[in-house]
């Protein structure tokens, strides 16, 4: 499991949700600090017995990624894949958490289907933990054309509905375009898949 982070205050909640998984196998949590040396101190303070926790702080990334978070995160995730030796790998953002059975349910599906990757859906929650039912597309600039268009499409296609569940799917064709998307925190991958197909970090 890898968490790429700049040590936001929500990081400890993300770590707790990993530590509290009911997955029966061994877990190795790697914290990849994005130019965040303080991550090494955080690991020493956790002191958990049921999960191996390690950390690395990465600095000196190519300057052309400085103002673009997606390429930076892609590079850091590729570093995590190189460092993790577990046969399965999952990623969690430092401002998200997993339900207790997240990994075990994905592992069950992965083995049942003899697949190399599988994913879940996700729930949107407010900071106080209460469900948030989307009335807008929350990952676009507010009041933008993109926000209004995407909310309409995902509402029409059932990704958004009258509850807090986001029903992500890999392929979602609509009017000549594929709107499929799955948040990275929903996936469980075989490591070999990520070695063959590393994260792309070069964009036009």
Structure tokens at 65: 């990624």
pLDDT beyond 70 at 164: yes
Is pLDDT larger for residue 134 or for residue 70? 134
Which residue's structure tokens are 């190189």?
A: 82
- Percentage, residues of the chain above pLDDT 70: 92
State the average pLDDT over residues 30-35. 91
| pLDDT of the residue at 204 | 67
Q: What is the token pair recorded at 50?
A: 């049921």
- Helices vs. strands in the chain: H and E counts, helices first: 6, 10
| Beta-bridge mates of residue 126 | none
More confident residue, 32 or 48: 32
Q: What is the mean pLDDT of residues 126-141?
A: 91
């Amino acid at each position: 499991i890898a968490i790429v982070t700049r040590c936001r205050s929500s990081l400890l909640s993300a770590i707790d949700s990993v530590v509290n998984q009911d997955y029966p196998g061994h877990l190795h949590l790697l914290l990849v600090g994005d130019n965040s040396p303080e991550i090494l101190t955080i690991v020493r303070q956790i002191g958990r017995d049921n999960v191996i926790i390690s950390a690395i702080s990465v600095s000196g990334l190519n300057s052309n990624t400085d103002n673009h978070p997606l390429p930076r995160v892609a590079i850091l995730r590729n570093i995590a894949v190189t460092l993790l030796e577990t046969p399965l790998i999952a990623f969690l953002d430092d401002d998200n958490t997993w339900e207790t059975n997240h990994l075990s349910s994905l592992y069950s599906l992965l083995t049942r289907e003899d697949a190399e990757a599988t994913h879940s859906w996700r729930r949107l929650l407010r900071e106080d933990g209460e469900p948030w039912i989307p009335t807008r597309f929350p990952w676009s600039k507010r009041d933008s054309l993109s926000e209004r268009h995407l909310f309409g499409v995902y509402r029409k296609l059932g990704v958004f509905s009258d509850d807090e569940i986001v029903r992500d799917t890999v392929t979602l064709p609509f009017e000549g375009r594929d709107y499929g998307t799955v948040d990275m925190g929903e996936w469980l991958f075989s490591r070999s898949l990520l070695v063959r197909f590393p994260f792309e970090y070069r964009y036009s």
